[in-house]
Structure 1
Amino acid sequence: MRKKIISVVCFLLAVFVSHGIAADSAPFFFLQLSDPQFGFMDNNKSISAETEAMNKAVTAINQLKPPFVVITGDFVNNSKSKEQIAAYKSMIAQIDSSVKVYMIPGNHDIGKVSRASIDNYKKNYGETHFSFRYGDCAFIGIDSNIIKEEDKEREEVQFKWLEQELQKTKDARFKFVFTHCSVFLKRMDEPVNYSNFSLPMREKYVRLFQKYGVNAIFAGHLHNNAYGKVGNMEMITIGPVGKVLGTGYQGMNLVKVYPDRFISEFIALNQFPKEVVMSDPATKTTESMSRVRFKSIRNLVMAGYQG
């Protein structure tokens, strides 16, 4: 029986090879969410509305089971509120253990940048940045607070780390960067405001990202959606899970990654699909990517076709 299973697996691998499909370049999807910001809706008096919204987000995550999710900051409204922090962490703990969770801080999670505020963040949530690979794609998250406040020493340390991580991505098919505050919202030359980087910082980071071929930057902070592009690099700012501003609505960002492209779509929490379908116009085929897991291969039937 074991030999038969091994034979079938080898046959399936042969199918992939014969069709020119590398395992690292197989289509996949991930979710980005931002700004649950517990306490914002009721001015820190209650967290019931944010709890309800975050519960919808977690339910959708557990239904779809992406390989990972990225949360781009502002988990709470008051960085010193034990109630808000505990509520957020309780919701994150309910995400299926098979789904990895990566987080970077928002301005409300740290407050005024200082040794104490950063240490407090790390104590509650972990590191302020991340870098990892999934398949042949690279994912890097940075702390935008030290950039926005232009904390020279910390910003330079992070910038050096960021460039070192980007240098490792030369062989990556796609390179994605995550930040809480947008580098810019719609245009590189737009006026400086609460929701983007200063012009010198904007130019500094865009120059670095373009040097290493970053494909997209994902952000939150605006509590609304915005889109910009410089050269071939996209700047994607998404709305919140929590309180909306302007014309925004509560939702999460679904990012589908194909061998030759990626598609980003911000979907309302109450309209999230129960499965993710990856469509390939080149072959006119579709495939459900919602993951079903089995504890063992006992009693399973595996088959290949058109080898």
Structure 2
Amino acid sequence: MAAERDVFVRARSRTLTAFRQDDEYQWKGPFYFIQGADPQFGLMKAWAVGDTNNGDDEWGEEIKLAEQAVQAINKLNPKPKFFVLCGDLIHGMPGTQWRKDQEQDLKNVLKDTHQDIPLLFVSGNHDIGNTPTRETIEHYCSNWGDDYFSFWVGGVFFLVLNSQLYFDSSKCPELKQAQDVWLNEQLAIAEQQKCKHIIVFQHIPLFLRKPEEDHDYFNLEKSVRQELMEKFHKAGVKAVFSGHYHRNAGGSYGGLEMVVSSAIGCQLGEDTHGLRVVVVTDEKIAHRYYSLDELSSQGIEQELLAMLAEHP
């Protein structure tokens, strides 16, 4: 059990044990990471039978896709700095029948990720509930690590947020308030440290295509969105990466890019099961979404690899 905890519970005390902060404050040159989203074990069967509440009793297809994702990542050379999963790890909501089995099967797949590639987890609505409670969040944290935290990699400051607290915190308002206070503190630290870039991970996108678009299930409510966008923009956040939509999308707000990545698991649009490769250079953050087949067979394209070879 100790070995499993080492692999899966990485975020503690609001930071990551995988990266020593003292070593990571300084820019050391270009690097890349892998972003995935929504492996969501159980959704494909539930979606196919038209019963998203009770139809998630099979997830063999998702297991195969998650295994393909891990195998593709393990083959990459050079290795990514980390692999982040932006929420909806499983489909079973808190309290549902298959949840525990889905969690265990996902852990069984992810444990094969190369030991030099830290795993980061972002909480999604299926992980902690559409209306989370202190209990559902505690359950998530015991399984996957803190629901929000920050860390440094090579002079770049990363923030992982619990976006469900922005979607509906009615059953745990004090937890939302705590995250708000923490976020303000972290952005102040980022400014003080003169970091190279600030990047945010959360499950629910701020918006899908335009900052002023109407609110629906797949984005944050307008007033909440506006407050966060302003806060991020003022702090100099370069990009927000999310999932939730099961399609690729995105847009920008001033200098802030909103990147919405499609799913490893069930697709709700025309995209393929895939992962996003994100290259961080001195000047910019470049990224491309790859299908699992493409990444498995061809790896990262030369254009992105060339950016990694640039010297600071």
Q: Same fold (TM over 0.5)?
A: yes
Aligned length: 264
Q: TM-score, normalised by structure 1?
A: 0.82
Matched, 1:84 2:85: no
Residue in structure 1 matching 2:132, options 113, 131, 138: 113
Distance (whole Å) between structure 2 residues aligned to residue 71 and residue 148 of structure 1 = 19
Which residue is 1:257 aligned to? Answer: 280
Distance (whole Å) between structure 2 residues aligned to residue 133 and residue 278 of structure 1 = 27
CA deviation after TM superposition for structure 1 residue 286, in Å? 3.1
For the pair shown, the structure with the greater C-alpha radius of gyration is 1
Matched, 1:37 2:40: yes
SS in 2 for 1:24: coil
Residue in structure 2 matching 1:48, options 60, 65, 68: 60
Deviation string, structure 1 residues 141-172 (Cα, Å, up to 9, x no partner):
10011110144322221011111111111211
Which residue is 1:296 aligned to? Answer: none
Residue in structure 2 matching 1:157, options 178, 187, 192: 178
Which residue is 1:134 aligned to? Answer: 153
How many percent identity over aligned positions? 30
Distance (whole Å) between structure 2 residues aligned to residue 89 and residue 209 of structure 1 = 33
Residue in structure 2 matching 1:286, options 306, 309, 312: 306
Deviation string, structure 1 residues 57-105 (Cα, Å, up to 9, x no partner):
0001111231111110000000441110001111121111111111111
Gap change, CA 1:110 and 1:184, over 3 Å in 2: same
CA deviation after TM superposition for structure 1 residue 190, in Å? 0.3
Distance (whole Å) between structure 2 residues aligned to residue 128 and residue 137 of structure 1 = 20
SS in 1 for 2:278: strand
Q: For structure 2, which runs of at least 5 residues remain unmatched after alignment?
A: 1-25, 47-55
Matched, 1:75 2:89: yes
Contact 1:25–1:258 (CA<8 Å) still a contact in 2? no
Which residue is 2:292 aligned to? Answer: 269
Distance (whole Å) between structure 1 residues aligned to residue 108 and residue 72 of structure 2 = 16
Gap change, CA 1:99 and 1:203, over 3 Å in 2: same
Matched, 1:166 2:187: yes
Residue in structure 2 matching 1:59, options 64, 71, 74: 71
Contact 1:37–1:75 (CA<8 Å) still a contact in 2? yes
Residue in structure 2 matching 1:193, options 216, 225, 241: 216
CA deviation after TM superposition for structure 1 residue 47, in Å? 1.2
Deviates more, 1:123-132 or 1:208-217: 123-132
Distance (whole Å) between structure 1 residues aligned to residue 308 and residue 232 of structure 2 = 33
